[in-house]
Structure 1
Amino acid sequence: MNTTIYKGIEFLIIFILLPISFAMTYSIKLKVSIGIIGFIYIIYILLRVEKKKFKIASGLKWHIFWKQTIFKLIVIAILTTLFVWLTDNELLFNVLLNKPKLWVFILFIYSFFSVYPQEIIYRTFYFQRYKGLFKNETLFVFVNAIIFSLGHVFFKNSLVLVLTFFGGLLFAMTYKKTQSTLLVSIEHAVYGCWLFTVGMGGMLGFPA
């Protein structure tokens, strides 16, 4: 399971073939089943093969993390607010203002049941499992952003692919610096929740 060939095939299946297949038309139950089996496999590899321990690392520099995250959020907030206002201003903060209970519910479900599993797969697993396959760290991070974007291809929306590519770059760099699934999950949740809040949730599958 630790040979280069095995890891290469594993990478191809998990990060290329499966996301592309999810964009195809077939039973949603089968897609969910495949996704669950794949996630169980990833957890097994992390715990039993890679000997990864899930724990909150000591010495995390929370003040630096929040300072950088809030700064990036402000930039993202300005750009996305302008985008929604210019393209469809009726969507601007629509769910927050008209369906606050749904807004709170979706933010909770998204943060814990979507973001965290994604970060285990695309950051924790990817960085732990495939770092040795790349000699160039810049390429390693770039590929992570590419596959993270590809993981959203089932939305069939070019803007989603662009946003998730840049999001993938941000999250990969955060994980590279912190080596913390918790911190990168918080960052991911903050930006994702903002997109839903500002009115861009529809293209990302959030119910409105």
Structure 2
Amino acid sequence: MIKTFYYKCLEFFVLFVVLPISFVVGTSPIVKTVTGLVGFLYVVYVLLVVEKEKFRLAKNLKWILFWRDTLLKFSVIVALTTIFVNVTDKESLFNVVLNKPKLWVFILFVYSLLSVYPQEIIFRTFFFKRYARFFRDKRLLILVNAVLFSLAHLFYGNNFVLLITFLGGLLFAWTYVETKSTIMVSIEHAIYGCWLFTVGMGEILGFPT
């Protein structure tokens, strides 16, 4: 039953629509944490037990091409975000890395390990494994994935965050479609996210400063 079309449709709606919206409702942080953890454990269970997904480094990954494309996109992001922070909130520009270097290193480590990788398991590995066949057009698949990734950040209550995460979702979805690699898209996600914290945009994205 868990592999049937109708079950997947219900699963899709609950995990990627109902759950994110529920985080906006005024329930206690404990309830939200437990709900999110249960959802993540379900995702891992389905991947490992139902879909027989193997979390191992795939062979023949095109690392040179990946780094070339990622660093090119990163250079554009660096330029745009540096200008943005310098114009809108100059005091925040590189504030944390300059004044709280230990906190900066700690947050980068925790974020990359405990936030980025689980997000990519859910929104890329799980999502594409379970629902890619629902979409004949690859562009529509990537668009829907980006919209849902943005929706998952609805609890921030910030339209600018929704825009950033939508654009990020487009990049990450495209990378996953091209590489089929959770580790590659996680690296890319971590690089961009860590940079946003470094340049001074951490506060709007939930990084403690």
TM over 0.5: yes
The two structures, once aligned, show a CA RMSD in angstroms of 0.6
Q: How does 1:24-43 map to 2 (within 5 A)?
A: 24-43=25-44
* Amino-acid identity (%): 59
C-alpha separation between the residues in 2 aligned to 1:85 and 1:25? 35
C-alpha separation between the residues in 1 aligned to 2:52 and 2:192? 30
C-alpha separation between the residues in 2 aligned to 1:145 and 1:14? 15
> Aligned letter for 1:165?
F
C-alpha separation between the residues in 1 aligned to 2:24 and 2:162? 13
Question: What's the counterpart of residue 202 of structure 1?
Answer: 203
Question: What's the counterpart of residue 81 of structure 1?
Answer: 82
Question: What's the counterpart of residue 139 of structure 1?
Answer: 140
> Aligned letter for 2:188?
E
Greater mean alpha carbon deviation, residues 106-115 or residues 20-29: 20-29
C-alpha separation between the residues in 1 aligned to 2:25 and 2:83? 33
> Aligned letter for 2:126?
F
Q: How does 1:80-159 map to 2 (within 5 A)?
A: 80-159=81-160
Q: TM-score, normalised by structure 2?
A: 0.98
C-alpha separation between the residues in 1 aligned to 2:57 and 2:158? 35
Q: TM-score, normalised by structure 1?
A: 0.99
C-alpha separation between the residues in 2 aligned to 1:193 and 1:116? 13
> Aligned letter for 2:16?
F
Figure out how many residues of one structure are paired with residues of the other and give that number: 208
Q: How does 1:163-182 map to 2 (within 5 A)?
A: 163-182=164-183
C-alpha separation between the residues in 2 aligned to 1:61 and 1:5? 36
Greater mean alpha carbon deviation, residues 103-112 or residues 55-64: 55-64
C-alpha separation between the residues in 2 aligned to 1:54 and 1:14? 21
Unaligned runs of 5+ in 1: none
Which digits, 9 at most, give the CA deviation of each residue in 1:87-111, with x for residues without a partner? Answer: 0100000000000000000000000
C-alpha separation between the residues in 2 aligned to 1:137 and 1:88? 38
C-alpha separation between the residues in 2 aligned to 1:24 and 1:106? 27
